[in-house]
Structure 1
Amino acid sequence: MNAKLIRNEYADKLTLADKLARDIASKLDAAIKARGKATLAVSGGGTPKQMFAVLCEQEIDWSKVTITLVDERWVDTDSDRSNARLVAEHLLHHEAHTARFVPLFDREHKDDVDAALGAVGKRIDDLGRPLDVVILGMGPDGHTASFFPGGDHLAEALDPNGTKAVVSMRAGGAGEPRITLTLPRVLDAGKLYLHIEGDDKKALLAKAEAGEDLPIRAVLAQDRTPVHVFWAP
């Protein structure tokens, strides 16, 4: 059992950013025209910044788009480690300034991620299913979302029959405690993207495809949702 991988490879990161942003915008626009609204879950880190800069200039009705995160470090938005801050600084601008943003961090429970799971899970549930677009990245250890090797709730997060929208995650490679969408919610996407850059990430993905025990393997070893891989060196 393996996911259908649709590979999109480009000569440089700028071209990738342009092609991916336009593809995402087209999917969101189609959802708006079909249902009057659209949902988008994005990942953090440095990789999506250039793509966000292109995406926020796409001329769709952003007032009908709700953006959330695939995962979040349990830090407030004044931290440079915050994915919410990344989105605010790089995506919620230009045409996209009217989009609604639903954070995963819950300031009311800033000292205890586990205490926030119920409230944050409800936020995600309230967005409806499926999410129209989900964009994943991948770390050098093979993690995607906050599915970290050795994570304390990794088995729960990857349970294909799990019913929770979010779980907490602590792992040696994660730094802060985190909160993440579960695998079923990631796969419950109208269109699922994997955005990776560099020869090292391409090689790592190949290892996971070949069966190496890396967290990203959970996304690849399923036949429920096609994965649109966007890569540039």
Structure 2
Amino acid sequence: MQLHQYTDSTVLNTEFAARLENLLQQAITQRGHAYLVVSGGRTPTALFNALSQADLPWHNVSILLADERFVPVDSPDSNERLVRANLLTAKAAKANFISLYSAAATAEAAVPEIMPRVSALPTFDAVILGMGEDGHTASLFPCSAELNQGLAMDAPAILAINPTTAPHQRISLSLPRLLNTRQLFLHLVGESKLAVLNKAQAGDDVSSMPVRAVLQQHDVDVAVMYAAN
């Protein structure tokens, strides 16, 4: 793990967007297509806006979420809605978006429909994860009964999650699917997140802080992109 600290989130987002642009362009040049996994929430909004201005052949880029709340795409709580409003705009409007939503009655019932969209994808080029104050990442919550399944190295690409400390059912990529990437980023803003990161590094119980499973593995490089404000 490498910690990259920036003076503020504006500088972070500018440099992070440029780094992502380079990674995606390299993938397109080498393999003809690039695959980017992003996370929802408030933190990445400004990064999305910056990245949407990148001069890329966006029709050769596929974007999907690391996890999604099981709500309609027009819900204020929808990560897909956030991505469409802030990333799939401007120059990036031509990118291909792979949705984790289905109109099924439950997240569990939606998995068979969503699974083929994700399971056949190749190695990702970049995965951007966030981290909660409880040490969750994607929707791999310490409170969920599905955590062990989501962290297992033979886990399916996606699974339904039922957190007890957060609203909504979730669809989440599993740990092995998230780690099947050429580069992994942890995007953190705020001094409280640095404290959580330090706590995660100081222990090894992944069930209490699932982000440890990302930080302490050795299969893929993890770059922590951090600004205090």
Return the letter of the residue paired with 1:123. Answer: R
Work out the CA distance in 1 between the residues paired with 2:149 and 2:21: 32
Residue identity opposite 1:140 in structure 2: E
Provide the secondary structure at the position in 2 that maps to 1:201: helix
Which residue type is aligned with residue 208 of structure 1? A
Other structure's SS at 2:36 match: strand
- The residue number in structure 2 matching 1:145 is 138
Residue in structure 2 matching 1:198, options 190, 206, 215: 190
Per-residue CA deviation, residues 55-81 of structure 1 (Å, 9 max, x unaligned), is 000101101001000000000111000
Cα drift, residue 10 of structure 1? 0.2
| Inter-partner Cα distance in structure 1 for 2:57 and 2:120 | 21
- Runs of 4+ aligned residues of structure 1 deviating over 6 Å after TM superposition are none
User: Which segments of 5 or more consecutive residues in structure 1 lack a partner in the other structure?
Assistant: none
Distance 1:174 1:222 in 2: 26
Tell me whether 1:45 sits opposite 2:76 in the alignment.
no
What RMSD, in angstroms, separates the aligned Cα atoms of the two structures? Answer: 1.0
TM-score (structure 2 length as normaliser): 0.96
1:94-173 correspondence runs (5 A): 94-107=90-103, 109=104, 111-128=105-122, 130-162=123-155, 164-173=156-165
Find the counterpart in structure 2 of residue 17 from structure 1: 13
- Distance in 2, Cα, partners of 1:221 & 1:98: 36
- 3-state secondary structure, aligned to 1:189: coil
CA distance in 2: counterparts of 1:125 and 1:39, whole angstroms: 13
Q: Deviations over 1:119-178 (max 9, x none)?
A: 2111012322x111110001111110001112121000011232x100111112220000
1:217 alignment partner in structure 2: 212
- Give yes or no for the alignment of 1:69 onto 2:69: no
List per-residue Cα deviations over 1:205-224 (Å, max 9, x = no partner). Answer: 01000116311111112111
C-alpha distance in 2, partners of 1:209/1:161? 24
Map residues 173-192 of structure 1 onto 2, 5 A cutoff.
173-192=165-184
Number of the residue aligned with 1:89: 85
Aligned residues: 225
Structure 1 Cα separation of the partners of residues 225 and 32 of structure 2? 28
SS in 1 for 2:40: coil
TM-score, length basis structure 1: 0.94
What letter matches 2:78 in structure 1? S
